[in-house]
Amino acid sequence: MAEFVMPTLGADMSAGTLVAWKKKEGDRVTRGEIVAEVETDKAAIDVEIFSTGVIEKILVQPGEKVPVGTVLAIIREEGAIAQAAPPAVEPSRLRISPSARQLARELGVDPAGVQGTGPDGAITRRDIETAAQAMGDRRRAIGESPAEPIAPSPAPRAGEAGDRLLRMRQAIAAAMARSKREIPHYYLSTTIDMGRALAWLSEENLKRPVADRLLYGVLLLKAVALALREVPELNAVWKDGQAVQSQVIHLGVAISLRGGGLVAPALHDADRQSLGELMQNFRDLVKRARAGSLRSSELSDPTITVTSLGEQGVETVFGVIYPPQVALVGFGKVVERPWVAEGTVVPRPVVTATLSADHRVTDGHRGGLLLAAVDRLLQEPGRL
């Protein structure tokens, strides 16, 4: 058996509301398939499953808001062999989901006296509701007034743009406050000559159909992805008091939303994609982010974030690291500046690249190597 749980979609998420199931009990599911829709403070997210098998039991119903890690459904995996039921669980270690435990508190039910009907005797919300009903019936039978349950707070309704924006700003504020409080940031910047890159891009786009043409920003993304192969310490997350390097490079790309707010979903395996593939996937990611149709893995998988405020006219951006990541790369707008080349001062298009990094993981020397690698790679755009 496998557990399908409420995923964590970032450091600013503690709970999510199950909006809808895309499958029902008894349906077969395959790894990577979207099986549920979850609403967070930022957006409605399509949640994938990472097991292949059959949905044995659904434990959380649409409309319920539950903490991250709550088991939403039990999956009977392909090839699973039926085993004898385990010995009874001691009362001190009840098998009960966080959502059912919360409901028990609200309804005044002692879970220790409830017979679980879930997998391996786990207590479900339905078991708690049944026990509460039986308790009320007993009280009425002896003439007592049943206790009034505490009504759970209603989940925020989807579509309330103002409320969602407020919740998003609160979630971002909490994550950024945590970042500045817990992460000892250090900051570096460098100015990169974009003359060769832009000249190559202009020639390359003449060979491509209009719909397949590249934006210069995709060159920046690919350069960062390849540079991380050389300085892999910055492609990591901070977990359990230490840095854990990622074996894959999933670039989180900061995307502003039309109604306000920000998300940073992942471009998976960015270092392995061609520029054309990266451009196509980036366009798709932006479109779906603004339409509210991102996948859960796109929010949970980024190993580093890249942000650019060039379109807003900003020349330099020093970002705040998004935990548990340990670095963020920023780019400003391309501007024309005097540049010394072969002893002559000439006008050149340049961009300021910055790095915000976690001093617990790396130092300025390693951070400098990353920015130097980005610069070097952009001087050879044909090899990106």
Contact (CB, 8 A) for 261 and 42? yes
Q: Which pLDDT score is estimated for 294?
A: 87
In a domain, 255, yes or no: yes
Model confidence over 207-244: pLDDT tens digits? 999 989 999 999 999 999 999 999 999 999 998 899 99
Q: Which residues contact 239 (CB under 8 A, 6 or more apart)?
A: 324
Contact (CB, 8 A) for 184 and 361? no
Confidence class for position 381, pLDDT limits 50, 70, 90: very high
Mean pLDDT over residues 251-255, rounded? 94
- Residues 294 and 333 grouped into a single domain: yes
Residues spanned by the domain of 280 = 161-383
How many Å apart are CA 256 and CA 172, to the nearest integer? 13
As a whole number, the mean pLDDT across the chain is 83
**Which residue type occupies 331?**
F
Q: What percent of the chain has pLDDT over 90?
A: 47
Mean pLDDT over residues 320-343, rounded? 93
Confidence class for position 164, pLDDT limits 50, 70, 90: low
Domain boundary among 141, 172, 190: 141
Q: Which pLDDT score is estimated for 92?
A: 40
Complete edge-to-edge strand list for the sheet that includes strand 2-5: 2-5, 71-77, 53-58, 28-29
**Which residue type occupies 31?**
R
The CATH number linked to 36 is 2.40.50.100
pLDDT at 24 exceeding the cut of 70: yes
How many Å apart are CA 310 and CA 194, to the nearest integer? 14
Q: Which pLDDT score is estimated for 334?
A: 94
Is the pLDDT higher at 220 or at 17? 220
- Residues 356 and 214 grouped into a single domain: yes
Q: Which pLDDT score is estimated for 85?
A: 41
Q: Which pLDDT score is estimated for 208?
A: 93
- Beta partners for residue 75, in sequence order: 2, 55
pLDDT at 23 exceeding the cut of 80: yes
Model confidence over 90-127: pLDDT tens digits? 374 567 765 677 677 667 777 777 877 766 677 877 77
For residue 105, what are the CA distances in angstroms to 71, 102, 109, 122, 348? Answer: 18, 5, 6, 17, 66
Q: Which residues contact 96 (CB under 8 A, 6 or more apart)?
A: 104, 111, 116, 122, 123
Provide the sign of the torsion angle of the four alpha carbons 212, 214, 219, 220, taken in this order.
negative
Q: Which pLDDT score is estimated for 82?
A: 43
Q: Which pLDDT score is estimated for 98?
A: 59
- Residues 282 and 177 grouped into a single domain: yes
DSSP string, 287-298: HHHHHT-EEHHH
This prediction has a pTM of 0.71
- Residues 276 and 310 grouped into a single domain: yes
- Residues 205 and 322 grouped into a single domain: yes
Total of domains in the chain: 2
Confidence class for position 155, pLDDT limits 50, 70, 90: very low
Contact (CB, 8 A) for 314 and 350? no
- Residues 14 and 70 grouped into a single domain: yes
- The 8-class DSSP code of residue 38 comes to E
- Residues 185 and 83 grouped into a single domain: no
In a domain, 224, yes or no: yes
pLDDT at 181 exceeding the cut of 70: yes
Domain boundary among 110, 141, 172: 141
Residue 262, number of CB atoms within 10 A of its CB: 14
Q: Which pLDDT score is estimated for 149?
A: 40
pLDDT at 53 exceeding the cut of 80: yes
DSSP string, 137-205: HHHHHTTPPPPPPPPPPPPPPTT-HHHHHHHHHHHHHHHHHHHHHH--EEEEEEEEE-HHHHHHHHHHH
And the tokens for 369?
Answer: 């190597």
Q: Which pLDDT score is estimated for 281?
A: 94
How many Å apart are CA 44 and CA 366, to the nearest integer? 38
In a domain, 177, yes or no: yes
- Residues 238 and 277 grouped into a single domain: yes
Contact (CB, 8 A) for 29 and 2? no
How many Å apart are CA 293 and CA 343, to the nearest integer? 52
Q: Which pLDDT score is estimated for 137?
A: 55
- Residues 100 and 171 grouped into a single domain: no
pLDDT at 84 exceeding the cut of 90: no
Is the pLDDT higher at 132 or at 80? 132
- Residues 210 and 297 grouped into a single domain: yes
In a domain, 155, yes or no: no
Domain boundary among 106, 141, 176: 141
Q: Which pLDDT score is estimated for 170?
A: 76
In a domain, 147, yes or no: no
- Residues 62 and 182 grouped into a single domain: no
Q: Which pLDDT score is estimated for 156?
A: 43
Q: Which pLDDT score is estimated for 93?
A: 53
- Residues 72 and 135 grouped into a single domain: yes
Contact (CB, 8 A) for 242 and 364? no
Q: Which pLDDT score is estimated for 172?
A: 79
Q: Which pLDDT score is estimated for 110?
A: 73
The CATH number linked to 284 is 3.30.559.10
